[in-house]
Amino acid sequence: MPAVSVIMPVYNGGVLLDRAVRSILAQTLTDLELILIDDGSDDDSPARCEAWAGRDPRVRVLHQERRGPGPARAAGIAAAAGAYVGFADSDDYALPELYRVLFAAAAGDGAAAVKCGAFVLPAAAYAPPGPQSEAEALRRWPELRSGQYYYAAQEIAGAAILRYLSNNLLDNSLWTLLLSADLCRAVPFTERLRMEDSYFYMELAGRLDRLRLLPERLYLYLARPDSVSRSANPALLLERAAHDRELFQRAAALGQADTATNAFNRLARTLNQYGAGGERPATEADLRLYLEIITFFRDNMARYLPAHRAHQAEDPFAVRCFLLPRSDGTETALDFATVAKLDLL
């Protein structure tokens, strides 16, 4: 049994995939396996994955139809043989000490979850074989000092994960997280294509006693402007609103009033951003989600307004009209009452 199984979903990874794989296989903790999940790639990624499996016996490859990163990670977890499970993205770079440090911290006293810091690598940076230490990374890219996830050495209760997320004190990435295999198998991944890692953390909050945070920064995240998580498109804003609603509900269920308020603030900001851009749902599915969120916001506004007396409007997100595209290229206008009659609420 390897000490660590590293799960890497792959979708059209290209040349960056080779750099990512190379960085995992060059870890100073050699007792690991790398599971590559080809998530329906339509470029040469499947062949690249198989080539790596042919070069190193620690690499295994799974192929599946396109389902998204959550189901891809779930498939990798099901196949993992390691005592602990870690995650990596196919366009990033892991510094050589990443899994040695994480595993030593976890296995030392049987911690079920540990997490370290990371750097945010400029999108244009591509320099194989890559830096070998935090210091070398900073020498190459001094701007990394202003783009990093850093944690003081500490332990937080599992339920506190929600509070940390609501205050942006914890990045919701999976790449610097190491979990015991048993815990990892118990936490489901959402089928959502966006923000699936943050939903995973919300699930962890209800199942984890403590999370150990480490000060080391041992992962380089490639900040690509075309990535799903960084694009400010209307569909993503709706997904963010749905995420904030979920965070609010979970915090409220745990009696975390401050966290629930922060989550509701986030939801209000996201809805304001959506409305300020003049956005309207483009599909029936988006319309359904939007109406669910608006209805949720209205139902809980009594809890929100007392803490924000500066709000004058009773309903700042009044729904006036939706335009739904039709197959012939025209649009159908629906007001709120009409939508309600269609049983889309």
What are the structural domain ranges in the chain?
4-228, 233-341
Distance CA 102, CA 178 (A): 6
- Give phi and psi for 236, each to the nearest 5: -70, -40
The CA-CA-CA angle for residues 144, 148, 150, to 5°, reads 135
The answer, yes or no, to whether residue 264 has pLDDT greater than 80, is yes
Distance from the first to the final alpha carbon of the chain: 50
pLDDT for 201: 94
Instruction: Report residue 269 as tokens.
Output: 């900001």
pLDDT band at 320 (very low <50, low <70, confident <90, very high): very low
50-54, 166-170, 205-209, 238-242: which is most confident: 50-54
The answer, yes or no, to whether residue 336 has pLDDT greater than 50, is no
How many C-beta atoms surround the C-beta of residue 294 within 10 A?
Answer: 18
Distance CA 248, CA 242 (A): 10
Which residues, in sequence order, are CB contacts of 70 under 8 Å at separation 6+?
189, 190, 191, 192, 193, 196, 200
* Mean pLDDT computed over 9-26: 93
Beta strands in the chain (DSSP E): 4-10, 32-39, 59-64, 84-87, 93-94, 113-121, 148-149, 154-157, 177-180, 210-222, 322-325, 331-334
4-228 in CATH: which number? 3.90.550.10
Distance CA 31, CA 318 (A): 57
pLDDT for 233: 72
pLDDT for 29: 98
The answer, yes or no, to whether residue 96 has pLDDT greater than 90, is yes
What number of CA atoms fall less than 13 Å from residue 263's CA on the CB side? 26
Which is higher by pLDDT, 227 or 92?
A: 92
Q: Which range is least confidently modeled, 66-75, 155-164, 209-218, 287-296? A: 287-296
Specify whether the CB–CB gap between 187 and 54 falls below 8 A. Answer: no
Beta strands in 105-230 (DSSP E): 113-121, 148-149, 154-157, 177-180, 210-222
Which is higher by pLDDT, 161 or 282?
A: 161
The single-letter code of the amino acid at 1 is M
Q: Which range is least confidently modeled, 155-169, 179-193, 229-243, 302-316? A: 302-316
pLDDT for 343: 46
Distance CA 247, CA 57 (A): 41
pLDDT for 248: 92
- pLDDT, the chain, mean: 84
pLDDT for 298: 79
pLDDT for 313: 39
The answer, yes or no, to whether residue 344 has pLDDT greater than 60, is no
* Mean pLDDT computed over 130-140: 88
Specify whether the CB–CB gap between 42 and 12 falls below 8 A. Answer: yes
* Residue bearing tokens 């370290």: 116
Q: Which range is least confidently modeled, 33-37, 75-79, 122-126? A: 122-126
The answer, yes or no, to whether residue 305 has pLDDT greater than 60, is no
pLDDT for 1: 87
Q: Which range is least confidently modeled, 83-92, 108-117, 189-198, 241-250? A: 189-198
The pTM (predicted TM-score) of the whole model is 0.83
pLDDT band at 194 (very low <50, low <70, confident <90, very high): confident
